Amino acid sequence: MGILPRKLGKVDFEVRPSFSLSQNKKNRSLLFKLKEYFGCGTIRFSKKDQTYKFEVRSLKDLKDKILPHFERFPLEGEKKKDFEILKEVVEMMEKKEHLEREGLLKIVELVERMTGNEKRKRFLQKVTTSLKE
């Protein structure tokens, strides 16, 4: 899930929902099978962690393909929590709430609860501060 500085409507940030799954080079064939199974998404190499990633960023594909699949076959642990947040964000975006200051603030607060590194958490805290001003 990305939140980027960008003037969009009444807010100065853009929300980019995303589902991704990483594998090392040896297991990347699994990602191609997932892409075929879901009928959407892209596969790219990440230099940062030297893995291949299957990513779905289309709001429509997330809503129509990814979310229903994982509602039928639930994830466990931290990934289950992240999935529930992704689901809530997608639903908010469907209602265009991300284009309003209050909705975007709620999305940022949800994304802060997702698994992530400290650099990302610091950025999200700056976004929150900016939105509350």
Give the model confidence (pLDDT) of 38-94 as tens digits. 999 999 999 989 999 999 999 999 999 999 999 999 999 989 999 999 999 999 999
94-110 residue pLDDT tens: 999 998 889 989 998 88
Cα–Cα dist 76/87, whole Å: 15
* pLDDT the model gives residue 125: 80
Cα–Cα dist 6/76, whole Å: 34
In whole angstroms, how far apart are CA 51 and each of 2, 30, 45, 46? 19, 13, 6, 5
> Does residue 7 surpass a pLDDT of 90?
no
Give the closest residue to 93 by CA, choosing from 69, 61, 125: 61
Q: Where are the domains of the chain?
A: 1-18+59-127, 21-56
| Both tokens assigned to 115 | 């698994």
- In CATH terms, the superfamily for domain 1-18+59-127 is Homing endonucleases (3.10.28.10)
